[in-house]
């Protein structure tokens, strides 16, 4: 279970988060929602330790993550799919996967597992990641994060700019990971995706929690979701 409690973070002098809190449970999908600039990406970066927090705490199964060095955080089992994929563009597909495997010392079994989830990557192993199509890059970013065999998966707008068939594939994989008991934190702007897969939704605005809804509440009042997302 990932517990985020009242985190404050800033980019230099500019305060971005003012006490964001939520709990992501194993086997659940928590959607982190809000308009552009609300602090969603900043929240995920702060969880990963890429941005230092000034107040609050992030803990995984009771271990306080914000006391660790940033490179130790993923080793505890947090897989991160950044916004814009952030692949290593000049490394091959195989090398990007290798980086993911090295994070927690995973081996051939995990490699085969992720390549079975995304068979197209198997055909592109020697190709530079930067030369893949947008959909293939998203598959690789997802595969790289899954190479950690994560307990928690953080996804930052994984369907942004993708064609429907790839969105469906990514959504299926996310649901598979949920079924395997992974806690998933998903930043998403697509209303239909949120409605289809979210177990709970946390709304943030200007770096603060403003609301939270369960799946049943989302289904009962989709207008509220659209209002928060500004669509």
Partner 1 sequence: MEFGPHLMLAALEGAVTAAILALTAMGLSIVFGVMRVVNVAHGEFYMLGAVLAWWVATVLGTHPAIGFVAALIIAPALVGGIAMVADRLVLKRVAYDADRTIVATIGMLYIIQQTTLMTFGPDARPVEPPFNTRLALPWFEWGENGFAMFWPWGLSTTSYKLFVIAAAAVVLVALWLVITRTKAGLLMRATQQDSETAQAFGVPVGRVYSLVFGLGAGLAALGAVLVVPIQQAHYLMGHDPLLLSFIVVIIGGLGSLPGTVIAALLIGMSDGIISVFFSPTLAKIIATLLVALVLVFRPQGLMGRAQT
Write out the residues near partner 1 by the rule CB under 8 A.
48-50, 69-75, 80, 82, 86-91, 95, 98-100, 102-104, 144, 148
Strand order in the sheet with 2-11: 14-24, 2-11, 53-60, 63-64
Integer Cα distance of 231 and 201 in angstroms: 16
Question: Residue 84 or 230: which CB sits closer to partner 1?
Answer: 84
Integer Cα distance of 187 and 83 in angstroms: 9
Contact (Cβ atoms closer than 8 angstroms) between residue 32 and residue 46? no
Tokens of 204: 């943030």
Q: How far is the CB of 72 from partner 1 (least distance, A)?
A: 8
Tokens of 122: 């198997």
Which string of DSSP letters, residue by residue, matches 32-54? Answer: EE-STTSSHHHHHHHHTTSS-EE
- The DSSP bridge pattern shows strands 29-33 and 183-187 to be parallel
Question: Residue 150 or 213: which CB sits closer to partner 1?
Answer: 150
Integer Cα distance of 149 and 31 in angstroms: 21
Integer Cα distance of 229 and 151 in angstroms: 28
Q: How far is the CB of 37 from partner 1 (least distance, A)?
A: 20
Question: Residue 18 or 85: which CB sits closer to partner 1?
Answer: 85
Integer Cα distance of 185 and 169 in angstroms: 18
Q: How far is the CB of 95 from partner 1 (least distance, A)?
A: 6
Q: How far is the CB of 230 from partner 1 (least distance, A)?
A: 28
Question: Residue 88 or 113: which CB sits closer to partner 1?
Answer: 88
Question: Residue 144 or 228: which CB sits closer to partner 1?
Answer: 144
Q: How far is the CB of 105 from partner 1 (least distance, A)?
A: 10
Question: Residue 102 or 196: which CB sits closer to partner 1?
Answer: 102
Q: How far is the CB of 196 from partner 1 (least distance, A)?
A: 27
Nearest to 118 by CA among 78, 76, 177: 177
């Amino acid at each position: 279970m990932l517990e985020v409690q009242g985190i404050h973070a800033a980019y230099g002098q500019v305060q971005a988060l003012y006490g964001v809190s939520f709990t992501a449970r194993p086997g659940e999908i928590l959607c982190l929602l809000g308009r552009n600039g609300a602090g969603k990406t900043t929240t995920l970066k702060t969880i990963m330790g890429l941005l230092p927090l000034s107040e609050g705490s992030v803990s995984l199964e009771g271990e306080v993550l914000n006391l660790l060095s940033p490179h130790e955080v993923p080793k505890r089992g947090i897989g991160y799919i950044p916004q814009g994929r952030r692949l290593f563009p000049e490394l091959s597909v195989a090398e990007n996967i290798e980086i993911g495997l090295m994070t927690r010392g995973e081996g051939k079994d995990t490699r085969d597992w992720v390549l079975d989830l995304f068979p197209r990557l198997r055909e592109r192993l020697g190709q530079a990641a930067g030369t893949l199509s947008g959909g293939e890059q998203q598959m690789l970013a997802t595969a790289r994060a899954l190479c950690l065999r994560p307990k928690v998966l953080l996804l930052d707008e994984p369907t942004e700019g993708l064609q429907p068939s790839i969105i469906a594939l990514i959504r299926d994989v996310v649901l598979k990971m949920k079924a395997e008991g992974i806690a998933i934190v998903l930043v998403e702007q697509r209303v239909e995706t949120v409605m289809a897969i979210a177990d709970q939704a946390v709304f943030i605005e200007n770096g603060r929690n403003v609301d939270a809804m369960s799946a049943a509440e989302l289904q009962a009042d989709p207008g509220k979701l659209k209002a928060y997302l500004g669509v």
